[in-house]
Amino acid sequence: MTAPAPAMDLTTDQRDRLDQQMSFLREADKLKGVLRASKLLDNSRRENSAEHSWHIMLYATVLGEHAGPDVDVSRVLRMLLIHDIVEIDAGDAPIHGHVDHEAMALKEAAAAYRLFNLLPPDQARDFRALWDEFEAAQSPDAQFAKAIDRTQTPVGNLYSGGGSWIEYNVTMDQLDARVGTPINRGAPVLWAWLRPLLAGFFAKR
């Protein structure tokens, strides 16, 4: 029988840091239980926010070639990884639902403060800054991240016969305003591909 590898001795600082990191990671597991309005493509159930975060990271990886020249896709992936973690406390706010956006913004900011501060201070600052950048949507990285975030759901709805659009009585005008604007700002190539498909779908309804 092979002898077990000896465990290295940790300093108090190393142990404390790992304790903080693991506390955050345990809390992040709760994102798997936050259900969104969007359904899986087979319409079998609603997706959860952790699945959504994974899927849009995959979208960004596959579609990164359509980003602008100033976009760092690796930073976009980090934004998309953490962008919805605040939903652990604040819940999901469906883009086409009736939401008090001011109240939701306050809830999300409070959630960001609590969740990121579970991490060691340096990581807490970095994660919060990245989350704030995504929310502001002013930098090229954040605008592309927002575009990807807005692309996934309508693509899914197209492939599943309408999905959440039917439940929320969504119109093409609403999609132009709520989806088209951020996609066209951050990834105009994607909007040029997506809009005719959306228009064709709604023209048949």
What structural domains and CATH numbers belong to the chain?
Answer: 45-203 (1.10.3210.10)
Cα 31–Cα 191–Cα 168 angle in degrees, nearest 5: 55
**pLDDT computed for residue 65 by the predictor:** 98
**pLDDT computed for residue 167 by the predictor:** 86
Say how many residues make up the chain.
205
Query: Which residue do the tokens 């604040």 mark?
Result: 90
Q: Helix H segments across 160-187?
A: 164-168, 172-175, 181-186
Give the tokens for residue 132. Answer: 């704030």
Cα 32–Cα 138–Cα 176 angle in degrees, nearest 5: 75
Neighbours of 110 (CB within 10 A): 13
**pLDDT computed for residue 158 by the predictor:** 94
Q: Which of 62, 23, 31, 28 shows the shortest CA–CA distance to 48?
A: 31
Going from the first residue of the chain to its last (205 residues), give the mean pLDDT of each consecutive group of 10, the final group possibly shorter: 82 97 98 93 93 97 97 98 97 82 94 98 98 98 98 93 89 94 98 97 90
Cα 104–Cα 64–Cα 179 angle in degrees, nearest 5: 40
| Cα separations in angstroms, 2 against 5, 6, 191 | 9, 12, 58
